[in-house]
Amino acid sequence: MRYLTAGESHGKQLTTIIEGVPSHLPLVADQINESLIRRQGGHGRGRRMQIEKDLVEITSGVRHGYTLGSPISLVVHNDDFKHWRDIMGDAPLADDAEVRRTISRPRPGHADLNGGLKYGHRDMRNVLERSSARETAARVGAGAVAKVLLRELGIEVAGYVREIAGIVSEVDETLSLKERAAISEASPVRTFDEQAAGKMMEAIDQAKKEGDSIGGVAEVYVEGMPPGLGSYVHYDRKLDGRIAGSVMSINAFKGVEFGLGFEAARRNGSEVHDEILWSEERGYYRRTNRLGGFEGGMTTGMPIVVKGVMKPIPTLYKPLQSVDIETKEPFQASIERSDSCAVPAASVVMEHIVAFEIAKAITEEFPSDYFPRLKRAVDDYRKEARSF
């Protein structure tokens, strides 16, 4: 499976094309809409989210509620486009046109300056329109399709918030995925500990009041993984590596950890590795899951636990210094609207991005043209793994 997205933040629409989804997988737009709506929420989002109501149109690859095995294309319209029609239209402009307002002032922390230089865009709107995290709506669309496939195979994926601005929300490690998903879904900051959630919201409000922004840590938990997915034989087949790369590709993500992650550096081996047990009922399993479900680039069959670090939102009401590329004069970057914290939304994005990588690995490792055949192969393999 692979996918591409197209679309500018304030352009007409976002488009996603997904290739390699097996045929005969039941799929309806509402399953994707549920994910899109979840991505829009969370305390700390800016005014743009009040304008958009993300709903998908499936424009190919699905017929009568089932996938065809042909490319699936998804479209999400930008409701804000009606306010940007003149600025974002595709028709050539007259040299003296009113709307030829160019952006010559790069915002620190954004793609503006590097992207402008790279593509020769002296109007940096041509960069920011595509580098915007609006694109994550298109990626969540692809991940939502992956989640449908995984669910049919007994694999569930949940994303939630573990930390905002240094406030950590502890998670009871015995909670099942269903419990994690239900509790975080009910929280305005998508987390567990109500007390921590209250403090997180205060921190977000405070940052907003001060014209500042804050970041945090999202976690994704995957249950029902067959063991041995991924491979140790080549660097680019290690599934933890692939997941880490795709998490790092989310806008504003600056680090990834599996299980104990960086804490492993501070512990002895006996406090890091997960002892192997076997029972008739479970097959092989681990006493602990400190390595977050991976050994040798392959799944152990224990839940995957992966964290991603999101930096604070770069556009600030409090001005940051930058340089106008036309005059080379310094200026103080200021803005009209922005999110002050998007970690809750980003946890939903991360959930879908991890889901896509897992679905992709499964469709590479098992026959994947026809969904019932894929399911039979995965079920057989699970049986084999139990008694190996």
Ligand X SMILES: Cc1cc2nc3c(=O)[nH]c(=O)nc-3n(C[C@H](O)[C@H](O)[C@H](O)COP(=O)(O)O)c2cc1C
**Among 111-119, 131-139, 163-171, 202-210, the segment contacting ligand EPS (CB under 6 A):** 131-139
What interhelical angle do 371-387 and 136-152 show, nearest 10?
Answer: 60
**Among 30-38, 144-152, 332-340, 355-363, the segment contacting ligand EPS (CB under 6 A):** 332-340
Tell me which of ligand EPS, ligand X, none is bound by residue 137, counting a contact when its beta carbon lies within the kind-specific cut-off of 5 to 8 angstroms.
ligand EPS
Footprint of ligand X on residues 27-86 (CB under 6 A)? 46
Which of residues 114 and 195 has its CB atom nearest to ligand EPS in the complex? 114
Tell me which of ligand X, ligand EPS, none is bound by residue 349, counting a contact when its beta carbon lies within the kind-specific cut-off of 5 to 8 angstroms.
ligand X
Q: Is 110 in the site for ligand X (CB under 6 A)?
A: yes
**Among 92-100, 175-183, 275-283, 333-341, the segment contacting ligand EPS (CB under 6 A):** 333-341
Q: Is 349 in the site for ligand X (CB under 6 A)?
A: yes
Q: Are 33 and 55 contacting, i.e. CB atoms less than 8 angstroms apart?
A: yes
Lateral strand order in the sheet of 2-6: 2-6, 13-19, 72-77, 56-60
Q: Is 362 in the site for ligand EPS (CB under 6 A)?
A: no
Q: Is 246 in the site for ligand X (CB under 6 A)?
A: no
Task: Report which of 294, 311, 218, 215 is spatially closest to residue 258, judged by C-alpha positions.
Answer: 294
**Among 44-52, 138-146, 173-181, 232-240, the segment contacting ligand EPS (CB under 6 A):** 44-52
Q: Is 252 in the site for ligand X (CB under 6 A)?
A: yes
Name the residue type at position 96.
D
- Binding-site residues for FMN: 130-132, 251-252, 296, 311-315, 337
Positions that interact with ligand EPS (CB under 6 A): 9, 46, 48, 52, 132-134, 136-137, 251, 337-339
Positions that interact with ligand X (CB under 6 A): 46, 109-111, 131-133, 136, 250-252, 311, 313-315, 338-339, 342, 345-346, 349
